[in-house]
């Protein structure tokens, strides 16, 4: 049984940490939110006062943080994980960050005799609760195998993506596509409603054409189509993911123009005060601007 640390107990990280605890692994946690730590403490986890203490208590430390700079600070900064983790210890970063930062952190850990696995996650907070996330894993195969008991507590679909940083590369690639599809779907439906079409009709037609996608089939009926923008996948996090993908494209020598348009849309939503809301807020913004309502009591029936 591995002793595990977990840093970053947000909407996704909190349930993931609980599932590690339910898997029988002794767990030490840290978060800036006392409430988040209290919830894990009540479930049986130990709490720490700084990342270094998590490292000292653990064979494996999982990080689930918002930005690349946060991961670098928590792992390598003063009082960070690397100051406490023993040689041979492993950091599993499950955040959504760029592969360059991931590779840089991993190289420094290896220089210190430690290891890093990148394993960002796919699906939703509901899947985080049930332990059925998709895991996109990069790193050294023997190290990944060593931490597999921890990964198995979190996800039920695991994809080996290659060496260090490749899990993060596929994650931001995936999120770029998912978010641009969501933004485009939102705009298309708003045009249709403003033109006098109904949501049900558009969904029935689109289901038979190449316009059909999982945003229309799964995500939007649960949130946007019922006017619910309570936080799930927050606008500010979507904007960060798309920004990282656009920057990666630039580093690779080309401009991701469609991605940049989605990034601008999300940044406008943040400027309007919707950064902490679900990405379904993009629909709400257009509804308010155009004086329409994209709703359907039978949206689910339309896609069955």
Q: At 195, list the tokens.
A: 């033109």
171 is catalytic: yes
Q: Give the single-character DSSP code of 224.
A: G
Query: Which of 10, 191, 18, 19 is closest to 96 using CA atoms?
Result: 10
- Given 171, 204, 222, 240, the catalytic residue: 171
Sign of the dihedral through C-alpha 39, 42, 46, 47: positive
Answer for the pair 104, 78: CB distance below 8 angstroms, yes or no.
no
All residues at 6 or more sequence positions from 91 whose CB lies less than 8 Å from its CB, including other chains: 60, 61, 62, 63, 75, 81, 82, 85, 105, 109, 114, 115, 116, 117
Residue 279 has which token pair?
A: 């990405």
Report strand pairing: 60-63 vs 115-118: unpaired
76-79: long-range contacts, CB 8 A cutoff, minimum separation 24: 76/105, 76/108, 76/109, 79/50, 79/51, 79/52
Question: d(Cα 282, Cα 263) in Å, to the nearest integer?
Answer: 12
Distance of CA 301 to the CA centre of its chain: 29
Of residues 74, 66, 103, the one with CA closest to residue 241: 66
The catalytic residues are 171
């Amino acid at each position: 049984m591995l002793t595990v640390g977990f840093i970053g107990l947000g909407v996704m990280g909190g349930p993931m940490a609980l599932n590690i605890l339910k898997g029988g692994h002794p767990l030490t946690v840290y978060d800036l939110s006392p409430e988040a730590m209290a919830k894990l403490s009540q479930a049986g986890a130990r709490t720490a006062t700084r990342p270094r203490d998590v490292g000292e208590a653990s064979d494996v430390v999982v990080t689930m943080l918002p930005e690349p700079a946060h991961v670098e600070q928590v792992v390598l900064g003063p009082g960070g994980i690397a100051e406490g983790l023993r040689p041979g210890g492993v950091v599993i970063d499950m955040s959504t960050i760029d592969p360059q930062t991931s590779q840089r952190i991993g190289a420094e850990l290896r220089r210190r005799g430690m290891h890093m696995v990148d394993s960002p996650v796919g699906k939703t907070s509901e899947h985080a609760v049930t332990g059925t996330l998709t895991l996109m894993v990069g790193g050294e195969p023997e190290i990944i195998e060593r931490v597999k008991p921890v990964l198995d507590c979190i996800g039920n679909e695991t994809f080996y993506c290659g060496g260090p940083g490749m899990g993060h590369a596929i994650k931001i690639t995936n999120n770029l596509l998912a978010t641009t599809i969501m933004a485009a779907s939102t705009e298309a439906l708003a045009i249709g409603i403003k033109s006098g079409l109904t949501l049900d009709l558009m969904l029935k037609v689109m289901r038979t054409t190449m316009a059909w996608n999982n945003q229309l089939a799964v995500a939007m009926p649960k949130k946007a189509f019922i006017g619910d923008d309570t936080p799930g996948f927050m606008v500010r996090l979507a904007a960060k993911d798309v920004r990282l993908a656009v920057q990666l494209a630039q580093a690779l020598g080309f401009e991701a123009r469609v991605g940049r348009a989605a990034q601008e849309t999300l940044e406008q939503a943040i400027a309007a005060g919707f950064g902490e809301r679900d990405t379904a807020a993009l629909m709400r913004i257009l509804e308010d601007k155009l004086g329409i309502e994209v709703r359907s009591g039978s949206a689910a029936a339309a896609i069955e």
